[in-house]
Amino acid sequence: MALTLRSKAPDFTLNSTSGEPFTLSKSAEGKPLILYFYPKDFTPGCTRQACSFRDHFDIFRDFEIDVYGISTDTVRQHLEFKEKHALPFDLLADLDGKVSKMYDARMPFVNVSKRITYLLDSDHRIAAVYSNLFGAEQHIKNMINEIREKS
């Protein structure tokens, strides 16, 4: 299924740094959110991206939008990454890359996520999408602009 603006985001369940499994349709029912896919914890671009979401987190909170990072790293590695960088949002472990694939966020031939960010509305329809492997900080700027335009 190709993901397009206004299409329903695929439902999924992944283990989370919260200690509880995260199911899109249940854990975030009726809430807008950002799902950002990224290649790997502790790499320079992914660290910049996560820290940029952290540094702008108050903006997302002001609009009552939760943020979730998704990669193929383990929950244990996510916990270390989250703690080291004081991330105020949960990271989800897509170990087999199936969710990344559902969201057109899986790199071909390797079990690593692309850098792609989705803004979902409260009905979990895709309100905005931004994809750029090398522009880590631009993902946050783009999402903030989209949120402000839609408000």
Catalytic machinery residues: 46
DSSP assignments along the chain, one per residue:
----TTSBPPP-EEEETTSS-EEHHHHTTT--EEEEE-S-TTSHHHHHHHHHHHHTHHHHHHTT-EEEEEESS-HHHHHHHHHHTT-SSEEEE-TTSHHHHHTT-B-TTSS-B--EEEEE-TT-BEEEEEE-SS-HHHHHHHHHHHHHHH-
